Amino acid sequence: MIIKNANVFIDGKFQKTDVRFDESGILEIGTGLKGEEVIDAKGHDLYAGIIDCHIHGGFLRSFSANVKEDTWEDYGDPETQARFICQKVTENGVTTVLPTIGDLSEEDYVKCVRLIRKIRKDIKGADPAFFHLEGAYMNPEHHSSFNHDHDRLPKKEHTLEIMDNDLSDLKLISLAPELPGSMEWLDWITQYPQIHVEAGYTKASAQCMIEAADHGLDHTTHMFNGFEYMHHRIDGPDVGIMYDDRIQCQLTLDGYHVSPMWAKFLIKVKGIENIYGLTDLSSHSGLPEGEYHFKNGRVIIAKDGFIRDEKGTIQSGNNTMDQIMRLARNRVGLSKEEVAQIFCENPASCLGIRDRGKIEVGRRSDFVIMDDNYHVLRTIIKGETVYENSER
């Protein structure tokens, strides 16, 4: 199969070229490739299939549905919900997800881990290839929404327990590095080269953050969100992160969670190659605008890219991957090339994922074709079209 007539994004720029692939991977990149089976991109943009490194769920489903049994009746059992999410996000250009779980009991962590490992074997949709544990080792004084019954200090035995004694598919795990035992735990966990430790929901000082980087911490979860407010007389975690070149940053680019100028400042300070995008979809994200009533009496309102409760308090963002890419350009003011690099190539390069996440010979044949306004036209996973927009 050959994709022709596309603006192909590779290494920070768009170029006119053809891409030959099959189910085994990308075979050849060049102009004038010949073959009988052709996908005509009709001048649209071709990107590597997008990796969403931070996604809890979406579309009224959750990767942690097995600990929320009151949702089963309307939206399916835990396996059905997880499979639905993986299929649905292909409509937004996502081909790989890192199911993001956290703030659970040890037993419930294991349930989630076992479920994802089960569906991964025969998934139809985005590949839940790696895990992202966000709520394991957070500072309980920082974020009141966390369930303090589950607060734990970072320890080898606990990490192994919640991952069911298998760390091979753990990619990201959060840490507030001021917690007792953090440096010793970092020394242990960073012996696994595929695992990245991200700072998040922390009250650490800048000096503590730099010390954590000395011990292997090298990422942040959604930079600025979940950190102390910045002040010019306080050496907080944000300034330590921006000062230390070893730390790479997730960044929410909807223009609200982080102001456009702060977002562009971070990109300038850290270098665009060290910034990667995410959605942070919650179970209530990705909904059409409207008012939603639930059997437990809860009411949420989806409007203007956010989920709010009846009082108007924001509960989460509501933007899918394609929508947030559009906002990154239109509201934040990034160039088309910057958006493409941050969302389509940087997740793989920052997280050390070498088998996908870039259009390069030998990588997986995961692609998304979008029009100039980030509407998804076709999503391809391992050489097979899994979503095609018949309306465009």
CATH code of the domain in which 330 resides: 3.20.20.140
Domain membership of residue 180 (yes or no) is yes
- Is it the case that residue 382 has pLDDT exceeding 70? yes
Provide the pLDDT confidence category of residue 313 given band limits of 50, 70 and 90. confident
- Is it the case that residue 146 has pLDDT exceeding 50? no
Q: Which domain holds residue 239?
A: 49-285+320-356
The number of folded domains in the chain is 1
Specify the pLDDT at position 143: 55
Provide the whole-model pTM. 0.94
Domain membership of residue 364 (yes or no) is no
Cα angle: 348, vertex 85, 65; to 5 degrees: 115
Provide the pLDDT confidence category of residue 26 given band limits of 50, 70 and 90. very high
Specify the pLDDT at position 69: 55
Average pLDDT of the segment spanning 164-172: 98
Specify the pLDDT at position 145: 47
Collapse the DSSP code of 13 into the 3-class scheme (helix H, G, I; strand E, B; otherwise coil) and give the result. strand
Domain membership of residue 294 (yes or no) is no
Provide the pLDDT confidence category of residue 150 given band limits of 50, 70 and 90. low
Domain membership of residue 139 (yes or no) is yes
Domain membership of residue 279 (yes or no) is yes
Domain membership of residue 199 (yes or no) is yes
Which stretch of DSSP H or E encloses residue 325? helix 321-327
- Is it the case that residue 136 has pLDDT exceeding 90? no
Specify the pLDDT at position 101: 93
Q: For 120-129, 137-146, 247-256, 337-346, which range has the lowest pLDDT when averaged over its residues?
A: 137-146
* Number of Cβ atoms within 10 Å of the Cβ of 40: 11
| 159 φ/ψ angles, rounded to the nearest 5 degrees | -60, -45
User: Hey, which of 73-87, 127-141, 368-382 has the most confident mean pLDDT?
Assistant: 368-382
Domain membership of residue 2 (yes or no) is no
Specify the pLDDT at position 299: 87
Specify the pLDDT at position 102: 85
Average pLDDT of the segment spanning 50-73: 82
- Rounded CA-CA distance 159/225 in Å is 24
Domain membership of residue 31 (yes or no) is no
Tokens coding 81 = 């919900």
| 201 φ/ψ angles, rounded to the nearest 5 degrees | 45, 60
Taken in order 387, 293, 54, 184, the sign of the CA dihedral is negative
For the chain, counts of helices (H) and of strands (E): 11, 22
Give exposure, 199-234, as e/b (b: 16+ Cβ within 10 Å): bbbbebbbebbbbbbebbbbbbbbbbebbbeeeeee
Residue 55: burial class (beta carbons within 10 Å; 0-12, 13-18, 19+): buried
- Is it the case that residue 72 has pLDDT exceeding 70? no
Q: How far is CA 257 from CA 222, 315, 328, in A?
A: 9, 12, 12
